[in-house]
Amino acid sequence: MAQVQTSPAARPLDHLAQAGADEAPALLLRSGALTYKDLRTRIAALAGWLASIVPEPGARVATWAAKGEMTCLMPLAAARAGLVHVPVNPLLKRAQVAHILADSGARLLIGSPARLATLHPDDIAGLYRSFGEDEALAQAYAAGRELGPSAADPAGLAAILYTSGSTGRPKGVMLSHANLWLGAESVASYLDLTPKDRVLAVLPLSFDYGQNQLLSTWFAGGAVAPLDYLTPRDVIKAIARHDITTLAAVPPLWVQLTELDWPPEVAAGLRRLTNSGGALTVDLVRRLRSLFPNARLFPMYGLTEAFRSTYLDPALVDLHPTSMGKAIPHAEILVINDRGELAADDEEGELVHCGPLVAQGYWQDPERTAERFRPAPAMSRHGGTAVWSGDRVRRDREGLLHFVGRRDAMLKSAGNRISPQEIEEAALATGLVAEAVALGVADERLGQAVHLIVRPAPGFLENEEELRSILMKELPNFMQPKVIHWRSAMPIGPNGKIDRTGLQAELVA
């Protein structure tokens, strides 16, 4: 297991609920606003109930539901109860959720009844219990057992966030109380969040930055409005309804939002825009700056294994619209060249993240942990364990970082990290194809669109309708291939394997 660096400033995660004034709004729900006093009371009650249902310290408790009171309270309630929270992306389907439950060894699952009904008995065999979200909250609030703020070790495990790798099934990134606390403090600091801010949480709470929308806002004493939107216009309506000052989104959503007609007074009310999940184009930066003249734009770069690494000062966006910026507070970012030395100005190298935001490794996966979590370079002021990102960057003479490319085959579509192998395995499991390769192709709206190249199985003809029908049942929407290419034979490279590089070149030609 990788060793996490802590800081004297780090505290147990559940203490974030103490930040705001009693009567200040903390959570803006459809049913009404919860004040910080309400937040503290309900977290205490939910934590007490969780501890009674799952008495095993450090046990994993999973949530699989849309944004709402339960999914927003669980990160702090589970931590207070001495449990480890495993938030599951509500867009995932049965196969992915079954893997996460089994891999994490979850003992409790709380979710929406419709989602729970899709699971097979074998999928939940390892659980003590499963509850619908409304049932869980009703039982917790009726039980009357409240737990006060915890005295947890900041280095203790608080959450496992599952993220896809370039190969294989999703892997669980282990985050400590310190990781999450210091991440909240860091973002609240450089965004300059205040108790007057209202943040619209549109990113999934199972994402590192999605969850941080809650934690950084509560660290600052502000209010969060969780939103699962059906159309981009729903985002505009929510901004108007809640007087939102801060919006985080991924590039595909920004593209859609800039194509809509905004009421001038709603656009003018935004004070802060933050981008994650992919780089902004120069054209999109210009459109955002024009549409939201009163908002500061914060482009950011990060990876789940170390949360957030860099941000670009809004004052520099117009001059350097494609830069990743500089290290966020609590992060040390080094660029290491192929000789293992600190890269010179404008020399390409690997981005290495050091410091207390570095996660504890991958859950029950020492082999992959050793590949990504390695000793920090000798010149690091933090030392200890660092995340070697695999991303190639360069630092210019002004100290600004610029992205060059990814070392692995990870796809990133609509802000979602996607494992090509997971799509390929689903296609092969249909029995309709003998070989399958999933690749990403640049797409203006998605960042990358998934293209699936397949060879029909012997005795089968091209049957795209049936293949797509099965994939729709087995894979979440964001993993669905935009285009399926049928081949009578796959190209073979010198190593005897399918020539992925050649296929990629053909797709972009």
**Per residue in 402-426, pLDDT tens?**
988 766 667 888 888 787 888 988 9
Q: Are 197 and 245 in contact (CB under 8 A)?
A: yes
How confident is the model at residue 416, as a pLDDT? 87
Which residues, at least 6 apart from 261, have a Cβ–Cβ distance to it below 8 Å? none
Q: For residue range 3-52, what is the model confidence (pLDDT) as tens digits?
A: 434 455 799 999 999 999 999 999 999 999 999 999 999 999 999 999 99
Residue 340: both structure tokens together: 């293992």
Question: CA angle, 427 as apex, 421 and 430 as ends, to 5°?
Answer: 140
What average pLDDT does range 321-349 have in this prediction?
95
For 250-280, what is the HEC assignment?
A: CHHHHHHHHCCCCCHHHHHHCCEEEECCCCC
How confident is the model at residue 203, as a pLDDT? 92
Q: Are 217 and 223 in contact (CB under 8 A)?
A: yes
Q: CA-CA distance, 162 to 412, in Å (whole number)?
A: 15
Residue 395: both structure tokens together: 């630092």
Quick count: other Cβ atoms within 10 Å of Cβ 278?
Answer: 19
The number of helix segments (H) and strand segments (E) in the chain equals: 15, 25
How confident is the model at residue 409, as a pLDDT? 65
Quick count: other Cβ atoms within 10 Å of Cβ 134?
Answer: 15
What does the buried/exposed string (b/e) look like for 359-371 if buried means 16 or more CB atoms within 10 Å of the residue's CB? bbbbbebeeebee
Paired with 455 in beta bridges are 435
Fold of 411-508: GMP Synthetase; Chain A, domain 3 (3.30.300)
Q: Are 239 and 247 in contact (CB under 8 A)?
A: yes
166 pLDDT tier (thresholds 50, 70, 90): very low
CATH class of the structural domain 13-403: alpha beta
What average pLDDT does range 344-354 have in this prediction?
96
191: pLDDT strictly greater than 90: yes
362: pLDDT strictly greater than 80: yes
Locate the domains of the chain by residue range: 13-403, 411-508
β-pairing verdict for 332-336 and 326-327: unpaired
342: pLDDT strictly greater than 50: yes
1 pLDDT tier (thresholds 50, 70, 90): very low
pTM of the predicted structure, to 2 decimals: 0.87
Residue 130 — φ and ψ, nearest 5°? -130, 145
How confident is the model at residue 5, as a pLDDT? 47
Q: Are 86 and 104 in contact (CB under 8 A)?
A: yes
| Intrachain domains 13-403 and 411-508 with the same fold | no
Closest to 207 (Cα-Cα) out of 177, 163, 251, 165: 163
Q: CA-CA distance, 29 to 227, in Å (whole number)?
A: 9
- Give 3-state DSSP helix, strand, coil % of the chain, rounded to 5: 35, 25, 40
220: pLDDT strictly greater than 60: yes
CA 29 to chain centre: 22
Q: CA-CA distance, 86 to 109, in Å (whole number)?
A: 9
Q: Which amino acid is at 128?
A: Y
390: pLDDT strictly greater than 70: yes
492 pLDDT tier (thresholds 50, 70, 90): confident
How confident is the model at residue 231, as a pLDDT? 92
